[in-house]
């Protein structure tokens, strides 16, 4: 007696694998395109009422840092340092959040190690 699979099962194993591979390749291409777009995007943030402005790229690199002259107090460099750190960190957080959101949209919420 031969075992039978229910109708619609079996016979398509190789075809199903090929379809999954094509879908994975398409997702990878979309992620690569999104990554390239994100890396070209600039994110800016300010601290201290716009006293310090930091601009970061999607590559998580600081592109520019602007400090208003009136906040430079030689007696209080610690405050200036804190403002710079706050602005830089906020710009980097914005870049990371945008990347996570776009990648989740592409992957449908799947966590696929090695793809991004």
pLDDT in tens, 8-18: 555 556 678 88
Q: Look up residue 6 and give its two tokens.
A: 């229910």
Q: What's the Rg (C-alpha) of the chain?
A: 24
| CATH superfamily, with its number, for domain 16-106 | Nucleoid-associated protein YbaB-like domain (3.30.1310.10)
**If DSSP codes are grouped into helix, strand and coil, which group holds residue 70?**
helix
- Partners of 53 in beta bridges: 46, 66
**Cα separation of 99 and 38, whole Å?**
7
Domain ranges of the chain: 16-106
Q: Which residues of the chain have pLDDT under 50?
A: 116
What's the pTM value of the predicted model, to 2 decimals?
0.67
Surface-to-core class of residue 56, CB atoms within 10 Å of its CB (0-12 exposed, 13-18 middle, 19+ buried)? buried
The beta strands (E) that lie in 14-60 are given as: 42-47, 52-57
Q: pLDDT value at position 114? A: 57
Find all residues with CB under 8 Å of 34, minimum gap 6, and list them.
102, 103, 106
């Amino acid at each position: 007696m031969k075992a039978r699979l229910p109708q619609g099962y079996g016979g398509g194993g190789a075809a199903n694998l090929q379809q999954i591979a094509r879908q994975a390749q398409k997702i990878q291409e979309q992620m690569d395109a999104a990554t390239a777009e994100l890396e070209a995007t600039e994110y800016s943030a300010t601290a201290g009422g716009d006293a310090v402005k930091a601009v970061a790229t999607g590559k998580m690199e600081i592109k520019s840092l602007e400090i208003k002259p009136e906040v430079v107090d030689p007696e209080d460099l610690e405050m200036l340092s804190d403002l710079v750190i706050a602005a830089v960190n906020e710009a980097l957080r914005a870049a990371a959040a945008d990347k996570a959101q776009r990648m989740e949209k592409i992957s449908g919420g799947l966590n696929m190690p090695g793809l991004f």
